[in-house]
Amino acid sequence: MTQLWDFTGGIHPPENKHQSTARPIRKAAMPDRLVLPLQQHIGEPAELVVAVGDRVLKGQKIADVTNGMGVPVHAPTSGVIEAIEQRPVPHPSGMADWCVVLKSDGEDQWCALSPIDDYKQLEREAVLQRIREAGISGMGGAGFPTDIKLRPPRDRKVDTLILNGAECEPYITADDMTMREQAAEVVAGLKVMAWILRPSRCVVGIEDNKPEAIAAMRQAVAGTQIEIAVVPTKYPSGGEKQLIQILTGQEVPSGGIPADIGVMCQNIGTAVAVGRAVFEGKPLISRVVTVTGEAVREPGNFEVLIGTPIHHLLETAGMSQERLDRLILGGPMMGYTLTTDSVPVVKTTNCVIAATAAELPAPPPEQPCIRCGQCAEACPMELLPQQLFWYSKAGEFEKAEHLNLFDCIECGACSYVCPSSIPLVQYYRFAKGEIRTQRAEQLKADRARERFEARQARLEREQQEKELRRKERAKAAAEAQAKKQAEAEMAAADGQASDDRAAKAALVQQALERKKAKTAADTKEQPVPSSTEVADDKPDIEALEKQLTQAEAKLNTMQGMLDEARSQQADNVEKLERAVAKNHDRVQRAQQALDQARKQVAEEPASSQ
């Protein structure tokens, strides 16, 4: 018997799993068109390796990531690439992203496959490459590229490989049904991963509410060293950190990864995909999805091609459009609502709940928090949700962070139990988002400051260099002067030269005086107003008018700015006031100039006659 530990907190929501386990896994009918998002994994989006109009075969790679982290995308059936366009993708925000639209040709014709029987003959690296080339990313939710996960850092030896079959979320039964029906495939894939990692312990954790799955898996692992650990049903035992604690008694360090304590968790669906990639050479082009909720007539699990629109899947399960109230992707605890049923199934889609209004009713209005502490009792991370809520609501993010806000796994246990029906998780998401934004802005501000300081330093340095050069020049000039003076003194000894110079100076003086006298006489002869700039010529009324309008416009703008600054009590009011006064003067001057010019123009015809 495997030793088990408990994790603190946790809840027991109604399971609602029986609805979707009554029927075996069915194959969903193929839709006319498949919509394949280029980013279904964590990392960089894949880039297209085929062109619009190309015919592709089932299993053919249609997009790949060449730079950075990511996995390729494959055609789930044979057909023609119809378009590459923005389409709504599964995301809490309801956003659109680049998708390949594949029109099925109905032939479902496979590309050439290269299955291998004895993978142990290969290098581990070759098997990892095969897993990557099959487009496998974690199928439990996050979608982290599996081949990268299977390469832990060199200094982190994985001692315990955990296969997560807890499936603690209500409603979801995809892993349960997979284990029941494909236990051998699950174990085959697990064995490949164990061979890559060489852990000393390999354990499958399954909640005790899945007796059929436990029995099937026990049978499948008979004769191997793989343990089947039956864990008590308690949400969120399937959370990675919680399952690790249950099975090993260890805690993943805050901000760390399981490999830090020598543990790795893999998902049931991922194990199946790895097995298929190795033994059959097939890429990840389909997955098991639970379709349930009271708005569908025939809830159950389906083997669905990646890219199948949700509405197609719901039609297969017999959805009643009138009864549908909300559409949830994922479970009722951590899943998110969809804005449209046209989003496709992706590699991480494990469940679709078509819920009626009575099934998952809207929460009652939020009441004040009475600090009852039910949330703290339920929190599996041992946080103080009531304090986090208080700080998140008050915008005291620093305090929230201090109380380990970022350790929150958003499992929803606190919101589930809250008697005041406060959407706690929503508050935490908000606080996390605000903190991230603030950090990004801080980073930006820091960079700007660094840039500014560097510029200041450069300018100062240049100024100093300039100063230095100036001084050097001055020094050189002084020396030259001294030298010249010395020469002059030497010359002074010769009296002739000196007399010559005095005579020249007297001549220049005379010439200057003559010129002055002439200028004075000219001015008397032509008494033109000298105050205007257009004194010599005809005044340019048009130009002056333009000048005036411009000055007035500028004054208006300034006045507007001043009013605004005043109303907002800005600190630049004084500066603006000065600017307005200055512009006011300018307008007046322009007005005067214009008036004078007009007068002059009016008089001129008479005087010129």
Please choose, out of 144-152, 278-286, 413-421, 435-443, the segment that lies near another protein by the rule CB under 8 A: 413-421
Helix H or strand E encompassing 265: strand 263-267
Instruction: For residue 300, list its beta bridge partners.
Output: 291
Site for another protein in 445-484 (CB under 8 A): none
Of positions 324, 345, 551, 558, contacts another protein by CB under 8 A:
324
Closest C-alpha to 578, from 562, 600, 567, 564? 562
Sign of the four-CA dihedral 517, 518, 522, 525: positive
CA 535 to chain centre: 66
Strands laid side by side in the 300-305 sheet: 26-27, 300-305, 286-292, 351-355, 326-329, 336-337
Please count the CA atoms within 13 angstroms of the CA of 153 that sit on its side-chain side. Answer: 9
Planar angle of CA 322, 328, 333, nearest 5 degrees? 130
Q: Kindly tell me which of 319 and 562 has the beta carbon lying closer to another protein.
A: 319
Restricted to residues 256-275, the positions that interact with another protein (CB under 8 A) are: 256
- Contact pick of 129, 367, 456, 510 for another protein (by CB under 8 A): 367
Site membership for another protein, residue 233 (CB under 8 A):
no
Query: In the set 103, 371, 586, 598, which binds another protein (CB under 8 A)?
Result: 371
- DSSP for 538-598 reads ---HHHHHHHHHHHHHHHHHHHHHHHHHHHTT-TTHHHHHHHHHHHHHHHHHHHHHHHHHH
CB nearer another protein, residue 235 or residue 302: 235
Which of 68, 364 has the CB closer to another protein?
364
Binding mask 126-165 for another protein (x = CB under 8 A): ----------------------------------------
Give the C-alpha separation, 426 to 429, whole Å.
Answer: 5
Q: Give the containing element (helix H, strand E) for 39.
A: none
Q: Rounded to the nearest whole angstrom, what is the least distance from the CB of residue 48 to another protein in the complex?
A: 31
| Residue nearer to another protein on the CB measure, 14 or 527 | 14
Nearer to another protein, 103 or 311 (CB): 311
Spell out the residues 6+ positions from residue 538 whose beta carbon is closer than 8 angstroms to its own: 601, 604
| Residue 366 is a binding residue for another protein (CB under 8 A) | no
Report the residue number, 161 or 417, with the smaller CB distance to another protein. Answer: 417
- The answer to the question of residue 389 lying near another protein (CB under 8 A) is no
Scanning 41-49, 79-87, 396-404, 598-606 for contacts with another protein by CB under 8 A, the matching segment is: 396-404
In 7-95, where do the E strands start and end? Answer: 26-27, 33-37, 47-48, 55-56, 61-64, 73-74, 79-88
Residues 346-365 that bind another protein (CB under 8 A): 353, 355, 357, 360, 362-365
Q: Which of 40, 182, 267, 386 binds another protein (CB under 8 A)?
A: 386
| CA distance linking residue 343 with residue 18, whole number of Å | 26
| Interface segment toward another protein; rule CB under 8 A; list 25-33, 41-49, 80-88, 384-392 | 384-392
Position among 423, 532, 534, 541 found at the interface with another protein (CB under 8 A): 423
CB 162 within 8 A of CB 265: yes
Nearer CB in complex with another protein: 37/258: 258
Compare residues 103 and 326 and give the one whose CB is closer to another protein: 326
| Member of 420, 559, 591, 596 binding another protein (CB under 8 A) | 420
Of 163, 174, 304, 328, which one interacts with another protein (CB under 8 A)? 328
What are the beta bridge partners of residue 163? 204, 266
410 is a contact residue toward another protein (CB under 8 A)? yes
- Site for another protein contains 91 (CB under 8 A): no
DSSP at 21:
T
Stretch near another protein under the rule CB under 8 A, chosen from 245-253, 572-580, 584-592, 598-606? 245-253
CB closer to another protein out of 102 and 375:
375
